[in-house]
């Protein structure tokens, strides 16, 4: 079972959209996938149409008799794809979760119980470096970073890279940056400032090997698919969004190999 996290210390970069699209594509390719919505905003859960009454991840963060495990929270969306739901109350529960002495190992320990049920685990995180994001990174073999080529996106990425380096030293020697990919961007767009940021990042010796070839173009079909709670490959299979995420998933698999 391979555990991948999508993260950035910046909101609005297409992190949830990317994590969902990759998870759906892996499932479409026949892989057994578990998607964990570890973002208290719960956007992925909403976009996937999970029942409001389905128990959410926050219930497993509390200690005490009768606390559910992550293995019991998996909800089958399709025969190939299951999801662990998030809820907005998790923003409060995360504060207490971060006070536990070994919270960093929560996902690593909990996922051991489902190792024979899934080929891939995709974890979507909040746009911050809070306890749930830390726990996701400690459990993962790779983090993929969606990035808009602008000042704030670059600053969020830098903070995340620093965090990954510290967690790699202290908790998870196997953790690596799987890749950084641009979202809401194309080399053909007429946005000179964005192109300059993209060139600077690609030319940075510390980042060159991490920059992925595939970029994700702006595409209204991605928003439409989420609003109707369908995968982009089902809602608009011929769209730019579907094409870009198919190619991105292929590149991710190549990098993992």
Fold of 2-256: Rossmann fold (3.40.50)
Q: Lowest-confidence range among 41-45, 96-100, 122-126, 142-146? A: 96-100
Radius of gyration of the chain, Cα coordinates, nearest whole angstrom = 17
Amino acid 201: pLDDT: 81
Sheet holding 2-6, edge to edge: 75-76, 81-84, 33-38, 120-125, 2-6, 142-147, 176-182
Model pLDDT for residues 10-19, shown as the tens digit of each residue: 888 999 999 9
Determine the 3-state secondary structure of 147 from DSSP: strand
pLDDT of 189 above 70 = yes
Kindly list the domain boundaries of the chain, sorted by start residue.
2-256
Say which DSSP state 240 is in: H
Amino acid 195: pLDDT: 79
Which residue(s) pair with 105 in the sheet? Answer: none
Alpha helix (H) residue ranges in the chain: 15-28, 43-47, 58-61, 90-97, 106-111, 131-139, 151-170, 192-203, 220-227, 232-235, 240-256
* Chain mean pLDDT for the chain: 93
Helices 131-139 and 90-97 pack at an angle, to 10 degrees, of 70
pLDDT of 151 above 70 = no
Q: Which residues contact 173 (CB under 8 A, 6 or more apart)?
A: none
What is the spatial distance between Cα 171 and Cα 169, in angstroms, rounded to a whole number? 6
In the numeric block, which tokens belong to residue 187? 């080399």
In the numeric block, which tokens belong to residue 137? 């990174």
pLDDT of 55 above 70 = yes
Amino acid 91: pLDDT: 93
What are phi and psi for residue 68, nearest 5 degrees? -70, 155
CA quadruple 53, 112, 252, 154: dihedral positive or negative?
A: positive
Q: Which pairs count as long-range contacts for 196-204, CB under 8 Å and 24+ apart, including other chains?
A: 197/149, 197/150, 197/151, 197/153, 197/154, 198/149, 201/147, 201/149, 201/154
Amino acid 22: pLDDT: 98
Band of the pLDDT at 52, cuts 50, 70, 90?
confident
Mean per-residue pLDDT for 40-62?
93
Q: Which residue has the tokens 């995709």?
A: 122
Percent of the chain with pLDDT over 90: 79
What is the spatial distance between Cα 57 and Cα 87, in angstroms, rounded to a whole number? 8
pLDDT of 20 above 70 = yes
Amino acid 66: pLDDT: 77
Band of the pLDDT at 193, cuts 50, 70, 90?
low
pLDDT of 224 above 90 = yes
């Amino acid at each position: 079972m391979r555990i991948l996290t999508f993260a950035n210390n910046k909101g609005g970069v297409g992190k949830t959209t990317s994590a969902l699209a990759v998870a759906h594509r892996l499932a479409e390719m026949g892989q057994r996938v578990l998607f964990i919505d570890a973002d208290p905003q719960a956007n992925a859960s909403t976009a996937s149409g999970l029942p409001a009454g389905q128990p959410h991840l926050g219930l497993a963060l509390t200690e005490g008799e009768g606390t559910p495990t992550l293995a019991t929270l998996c909800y089958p969306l399709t025969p190939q794809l299951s999801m662990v739901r998030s809820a907005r109350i998790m923003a409060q529960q995360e504060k207490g979760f971060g006070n536990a002495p070994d919270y960093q190992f929560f996902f690593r320990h909990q996922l051991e119980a489902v190792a024979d049920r899934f080929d891939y685990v995709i974890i979507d995180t909040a746009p911050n470096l809070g306890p749930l994001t830390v726990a996701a990174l400690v459990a993962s073999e790779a983090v993929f970073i969606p990035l808009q080529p602008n000042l704030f996106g670059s600053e969020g990425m830098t903070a995340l890279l620093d965090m990954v380096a510290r967690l790699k030293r202290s908790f998870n020697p196997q953790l690596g940056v799987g890749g950084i990919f641009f979202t809401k961007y194309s080399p053909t767009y007429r946005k000179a400032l964005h192109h300059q940021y993209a060139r600077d990042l690609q030319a940075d010796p510390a980042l060159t090997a991490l920059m992925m070839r595939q970029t994700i173009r702006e595409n209204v079909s991605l928003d439409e698919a989420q609003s109707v709670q369908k995968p982009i490959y089902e809602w608009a299979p011929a769209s730019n969004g579907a094409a870009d995420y198919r190619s991105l998933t292929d590149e991710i698999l190549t990098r993992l190999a």
